[in-house]
Structure 1
Amino acid sequence: MKRIAAMAWRALRGSVQWRVLWLWHATFMVGVSGIVKDDEGRVLVLRHRLWPEDRQWGLPTGYAKRSETFENTVVREVLEETGLRVRVRDLVNLKSGYRLRVEVAYTADLIGGDIKIASFEVLEAQWFAMDRLPEGLLESHRTLIQKTR
């Protein structure tokens, strides 16, 4: 039986094999966050409109699009949410174990632009010193920020 299965698998080839694997295995959304710092070492933190009122502050974040690198997701999300341009640096977090989601976080440096808020998603964007982060900051994001000290 194993030999027949192996022969059938080899006969499928390329894209058909990938489609079978995709259907067979779990599929996840990937949430990507950026820990963006300016030249003074301050962190960009956003007050998100769609988050619970007691936990509205958090990092720029969003979901990766199909065939988009996680680094490009950070660049796109920061630009969409704030109008700022960033250069992505280091991977600081990769976490699975959620039901349908994987979380990824990168550090990034500000390279240009002026803050222009995407009012649908974001209420406010501010730079905070690492030791003066706002109340109501999502605890997991506070932990990510502290990892980059």
Structure 2
Amino acid sequence: MTRRLRPVGLGFAEDAPTRLVFTARASAAPDAVYRALAEEVTGWPSWFRAVTLARPTRGGGGREVRLMGGVRFQETVMAADPGLRYAYRVDETNVPGVRALLEEWLLAPADHSPGTLVRWTFAADGPPAFRLALTAARPGLGHSFRTAVRTLDARLAARTRG
């Protein structure tokens, strides 16, 4: 059953009841990472294992995303700042319990080396049982994120070599 979530703004990434923040380093430049995130949406399944389908909707203003296990999201792109930030809010999902969800990807040049520091914030609200379950899922989400960034980085490196 699809459920409509509470619309939230970009500030939700900082003040959500549950915030999971992960970082990883990519050797690719911020512009290349941004293009893969925001402009090559249909390519997400090739580097983010949990994603089985990703496609832009509403002329790029939204996204449809499906994950392993049958999870579905209809999203609104909230920020698309080339080389810096990509953020989206979930408007509809079949995940029980969630009331609001926003994901933000921040990109910054890596300190003292070429590449990008990628910071992913998973901001959510729901009843206490949902928030507890999400917090318990933190290690798995972190592993999935770090693996995705490594896979994306390898794909971007292969592009520049090929």
Same fold per superposition (TM over 0.5): no
Q: Which structure: greater strand fraction?
A: 2
Please say which structure displays the higher CA radius of gyration. 1
Q: Which structure: greater helix fraction?
A: 2
TM-score after normalising by structure 1: 0.29
